[in-house]
A and B are shown apart, each in its own frame.
Chain A
Amino acid sequence: MGTNVVNALAGVSVRIEPGEFVAVMGPSGSGKTTFMNLLGCLDRPSAGKYLFEGHEVSAYDHTELARLRNQKIGFVFQNFNLLPRITALDNVALPLAYGKFARGERRQRAEVALREVGLGDRMDHRPVQLSGGQQQRVAIARAIVGSPSLILADEPTGALDTKTGVEIMGILQSLNDRGITIVLVTHEPDIAEHASRVLSFRDGRMIRDEKGVGRRAGAPPASQPHLVAVAGH
């Protein structure tokens, strides 16, 4: 196929502090998805460095990346991505199963997480028995059950109506209030309003980094920097 290399992302240098609420915006093909994949340790940069809490993860192997995702990162997807054949509780407990938790503890923690998102009464429902908003709450519970330091949300409100979307954003905000760093991809300026910082991407480059925007402008960044993303040229 020749030697054409397409850089999905180039010259991006970003440092995200613990406790920040970051919105990532940009048209499709802008490189924001690649950026998110790198942050989420689903992909490794072909050049450049990614430090997560001071650790160079570019050099991690598949198993180490999997462990990092399991313990430090929670994912929330646009289309929820719950496993359809198991209950809400089992879906939420699934990351803990990969984290070698004992059965009883998994269940207990999953129950706590589900109550936190307001689904204490829907634990034994399967995804098809839940509304879109409820499914996304289950997905958020799954993301927080392992007490991660970072939550990555890829258009979490994209498949929901406005009212439900606002509810979901409320949950993410309350998580951020507890000190969890949140990075959110969105098209909608309304949703980006929730963030304290907005990164805009275009053609594989970061064209804007606006701090102190939106409703969350007043939120103080935590003292210790823990996240640095540097993509190569």
Chain B
Amino acid sequence: MTPADLLFSALQSLRSNTMRSVLTALGIIIGVGAVITIVAIGAGAQANIEKVIEQIGSNMLTISPGQARDGGAQQGAASRPTLTAEDADALKTVPGVSAVAPEVRGPVQVILGNQNWRTNVVGITEDFFTVRNWKLNKGRNFEDWEIDAGEKIVILGSTVAEKVFPGSDPINQIIRIDRVPFTVIGVTAAKGQSSFGQNQDDIIFVPLKTAQQRILGGRLIKPDSVQQIAVLARTAKEVDVVERDLAELLRDRHAIVPGRADDFQIRNTSEIFQARAGATEVMTLLLTAIASVSLLVGGIGIMNIMLVSVTERTREIGVRMAIGASRTDVMMQFLIEALALSMIGGIIGIILGMICSQLTAHFAGWPLRIEMTSILLAVGFSAAVGIFFGYYPARKAARLDPIEALRYA
């Protein structure tokens, strides 16, 4: 029998028991579909995280005050205001650092006439926009002297600009922040939601010193402290070295003796997202493993049905042997049948999986990533399942004694 004959007769046999074939293939369909979907979702989530990392830059470090551990009790970051603007200035001297951006944050009330908007203010230096990857849409950035002088000028986030100045140009307008009048000098370009789902544009920026002394000072923070310092390394490769040097310098400046814990925390931003990416990967792997179990169960279903089929067709096998089918011929016939069953299931499963991934990608707003490897893997896996679970029934058929088989009622 040629391969074409075998395939033709296998399909014919499967078609003569359509319902049974469909139900048997269902296990493989669900298994393959689930694996494809899960792998695609995992890859999509991964791509999404990579996109976020790319957005924030992988060569950024953030330094927060407060130590992780204090006499066994866990203290929140920023529990002690130990970082100052002078620290930030000193960090600029560390080799490999391209920019340093200290900042303070707090809630404020913005007032213009009868407009009233509650938002967050960030006190920044001129490097902030570079380090945090913000763009200005209108107006200009702060200048060095304005920051040193604690000028009463403000740059608005796009949401605040839209709310307080609907349809009009805010540049050079005066707004009041907690009763203090400020001149608007710029508006940032929209940045959208953060990866945690917050609106990043509902914000205003003022010079660091202004924020420390006029807005937040004495109320929320000590006048000279900063809540966070963002440091941009020149290249992503230098991040590790820069991180170590920053820590060393800060320990030195804060006079921390060896053996005592740091009173600050340095975090590599991309590390946070890489950890999330890692978690996603583990989750994907776990779910894939669970879905694979369904493939296994589908394979057992195939074996079961093939055994039934061999028993039902005992007489046919006897006839085929009498007219000249060798054991190999009979073996191949049933093996191809099992293979056809699992491959058809696999192909339908791939189509189903692609539809499901498309839908998921659509609703989650992720980039769609169906990798060729996962499709090839699914095809290979269903073929392997067919051969593995089809082998035993096929061998059973091939080993039948033609005399017994012909006598089978």
Contact = CB atoms under 8 A, between A and B. Distances in A.
A77 to B, nearest CB: 7
A184 to B, nearest CB: 16
Interface stretch (B245-253, B297-305, B324-332): B324-332
Contacts of A42: 321-322, 402-403, 406
A83 B323 contact: no
Contacts of A85: 12-13, 16
Interface stretch (A59-67, A114-122, A173-181, A204-212): A59-67
Contacts of B403: 37, 42-43
B137 to A, nearest CB: 73
Interface stretch (B46-54, B312-320, B362-370, B379-387): B312-320
Interface in B392-406: 402-403, 406
A67 to B, nearest CB: 7
A63 B326 contact: yes
Interface residues of B, number: 23
Given A85-B13, A98-B326, A98-B329, A66 B321 contact: yes
Contacts of B321: 42, 66, 69
A157 interface: no
A219 interface: no
Contact of B323 (A37, A69, A86): A69
Interface string A134-148: 000000001000100
A159 B135 CA distance: 94
B322 A40 contact: yes
Contact of B322 (A75, A100, A146): A75
A99 interface: yes
B5 interface: yes
A92 B352 CA distance: 41
Contacts of B329: 66, 98
B19 interface: no
Contacts of B320: 94, 98
B1 interface: yes
A117 B201 CA distance: 91
B319 A67 contact: no
Interface string B325-341: 11111000000000000
B327 A62 contact: yes
A86 B13 CA distance: 10
B406 A81 contact: yes
A130 interface: no
24 contacts: A37-B403, A40-B322, A42-B322, A42-B402, A63-B328, A69-B322, A69-B323, A69-B324, A70-B324, A70-B325, A75-B323, A77-B406, A81-B319, A85-B12, A85-B13, A86-B12, A95-B324, A97-B2, A98-B1, A98-B320, A98-B323, A98-B325, A100-B2, A146-B324
Q: Which 3 A-B pairs have the closest CB atoms?
A: A70-B324, A66-B326, A98-B324
Given A81-B322, A86-B12, A98-B1, 16 more contacts: A40-B322, A42-B322, A43-B403, A63-B326, A63-B328, A67-B326, A69-B323, A70-B324, A81-B319, A83-B319, A85-B12, A95-B323, A97-B1, A97-B5, A98-B324, A142-B323
Interface of A: 37, 40, 42-43, 62-63, 66-67, 69-71, 75, 77, 81-83, 85-86, 94-95, 97-100, 142, 146
